[in-house]
Amino acid sequence: MTTDGDLLSQVEKQLKDRFALDPTGARLPSNTRPADTSERVAQLVLRDEDRPRMPFTKDKYIIREDPHKVQWERETRKFLRNLSLETGHRVSATMIFEWATGLQVADLSAANELPNRELRRINEALRFYFGKSYSTYIMGRKVPNCYRVPAQWRVKRHRPMTMTLYAEWSEGVLNP
């Protein structure tokens, strides 16, 4: 039963006192003296509430990424950010390459200078965001690797594929 404003019963109080932690911070009963503490460390260390977030330490984060892959994913995210939200879209790596560089893939292919590495990196990012590609026709022309972007799809809500951009995204500083 509780007595005048106390919310704990007698049994609960006894159990709480019995299993209460030692005020000195000792976890195990011991008759030895407490461990020495350093005043310098106590002054240097922040309180637990004031500490920043933990750094990325998982094994999967410790990788060296291809800088071209990171940059092409950044350009892909910029392209996707500029799409309107009202309707769905069909996008391809060629569209993104031509938008980002101002170069026409048809002109490069006529000169035997196909940007295959760049298109593969863009396709890899698009595959990560939208899944499997398909073949379709856009304005009467066949597009072999096309991806469907649904209406109301926002790139800023989706985590990036590369760990470099993921670090920026998780901190909230990734622009596209």
CB burial of 85-120 (b: ≥16 within 10 Å; e: otherwise) equals: eeeebebbbbbbbbebeeeebeeeeeeeeebeebbe
- Average pLDDT value for the chain: 85
Collapsed DSSP state (helix, strand, coil) of residue 43: helix
For the chain, the domains span 67-171
Query: For the residues 14-33, what does the mean pLDDT come to?
Result: 67
pTM, entire model = 0.69
Query: For residue range 113-172, what is the model confidence (pLDDT) as tens digits?
Result: 888 899 999 999 999 999 999 999 988 989 989 999 999 999 999 999 998 898 889 888
Query: For the residues 87-108, what does the mean pLDDT come to?
Result: 93
Compute the distance between CA of residue 128 and CA of residue 27 in angstroms, rounded to an integer.
Answer: 48
Confidence tier at 29 by pLDDT (50, 70, 90)? low
Q: What is the pLDDT of residue 5?
A: 59
Distances in Å between the Cα of 147 and the Cα atoms of 24, 60, 141, 150, 167 are 62, 28, 15, 10, 26
Q: What is the pLDDT of residue 26?
A: 59
The angle at the Cα of 104, spanning 121 to 66, to the nearest 5 degrees, equals 20
